[in-house]
A and B are shown apart, each in its own frame.
Chain A
């Protein structure tokens, strides 16, 4: 399966062994349910299992699969809205939106740097952050995304 959808899942540090039954059960649950909770004592591999389930399910979700770390959310009241906002919405800073818009014109880091009066290395850093936030692997994906979201990314 080589369908590529946007995602921010980390690379698995070592091989995933067995648990075929858990995977197939969860795979069908993901198809039918909106929320699934895995419970169990610490260290039995809930996170690992859910990441693998997410990766396997990615082919069915064209908008991508997204890992949201609840530890980063300080206020419990914000918990429902953080995953709902999703990494694809409004996550970009003004500068990142400017750079995304310039990428649609096929500009190099150096040319963008000249335009915005910042160094090419800074542009590269912003580009990396945009990729992180949107779960992209290449600059061209940013360009396509920015072109599609032209109204939000356009410079005012």
Chain B
């Protein structure tokens, strides 16, 4: 049964890294929890500005699983266009690592910007500071 989950669902064209079904499920589940912890609830719009690849797939799946609405932003847009699209979305949450997207989120309604690292389980426990 477990063998089926070794099925490859994506190959990153840049790095050649393969994402298996099991990895996709696990990574998006972890990411869903992180989104919910930051307050994403059913119906909330979440901007995603990432280059095409496994991270984009994981983030998209996670937002859908959290009940959110995915608002994708092509990573190759210039800053003014990104800014217009972000304003138009009225979204409060954005997932992105890209400097131009972070800059474009200035003076919009975006209040929470999560990087790809924030979507992983890097800070599992609330203990300590």
How many whole Å from B9's CB to the nearest CB in chain A?
A: 9
The reply to whether the CB of A29 lies closer than 8 angstroms to some CB of chain B is no
The reply to whether the CB of A137 lies closer than 8 angstroms to some CB of chain B is yes
| Pairwise interchain contact A124-B61, C-beta atoms closer than 8 A | yes
Q: List 14 A-B contacts (CB under 8 A).
A: A2-B124, A2-B125, A4-B125, A5-B125, A54-B126, A55-B126, A65-B126, A106-B1, A110-B21, A111-B4, A121-B64, A127-B29, A128-B66, A138-B26
Complex: A106 Cα to B61 Cα, angstroms: 19
| Pairwise interchain contact A106-B126, C-beta atoms closer than 8 A | no
Number of inter-chain CB pairs below 8 Å: 91
The reply to whether the CB of B10 lies closer than 8 angstroms to some CB of chain A is no
A139's closest neighbor in chain B, by CB? Answer: B29
Report A's interface with B, CB cutoff 8 A.
1-5, 7, 9-11, 16, 54-56, 58-59, 65, 105-111, 121, 124-125, 127-128, 131-132, 136-140
**In the complex, what residues of B have CB within 8 A of residue A5's CB?**
125
| Pairwise interchain contact B125-A128, C-beta atoms closer than 8 A | no
The reply to whether the CB of B65 lies closer than 8 angstroms to some CB of chain A is yes
A10's closest neighbor in chain B, by CB? Answer: B37
**In the complex, what residues of A have CB within 8 A of residue B30's CB?**
137-138
| Pairwise interchain contact B29-A56, C-beta atoms closer than 8 A | no
Complex: A10 Cα to B33 Cα, angstroms: 11
A52's closest neighbor in chain B, by CB? Answer: B126
Residue from the list B4, B33, B67 in contact with A108, Cβ < 8 A = B4
**In the complex, what residues of A have CB within 8 A of residue B36's CB?**
128, 132
Residue from the list A9, A110, A138 in contact with B126, Cβ < 8 A = A9
The reply to whether the CB of B44 lies closer than 8 angstroms to some CB of chain A is no
Known contacts A5-B125, A10-B39, A125-B65; is A136 also within 8 Å of B5 by CB? Answer: no
Residue from the list A54, A65, A106, A138 in contact with B29, Cβ < 8 A = A138
**In the complex, what residues of A have CB within 8 A of residue B76's CB?**
none
A56's closest neighbor in chain B, by CB? Answer: B127
**In the complex, what residues of B have CB within 8 A of residue A127's CB?**
25, 29, 32, 65
| Pairwise interchain contact A137-B33, C-beta atoms closer than 8 A | yes
Interface 0/1 of B34-50, CB less than 8 Å to A: 00111100000000000
| Pairwise interchain contact A3-B4, C-beta atoms closer than 8 A | no
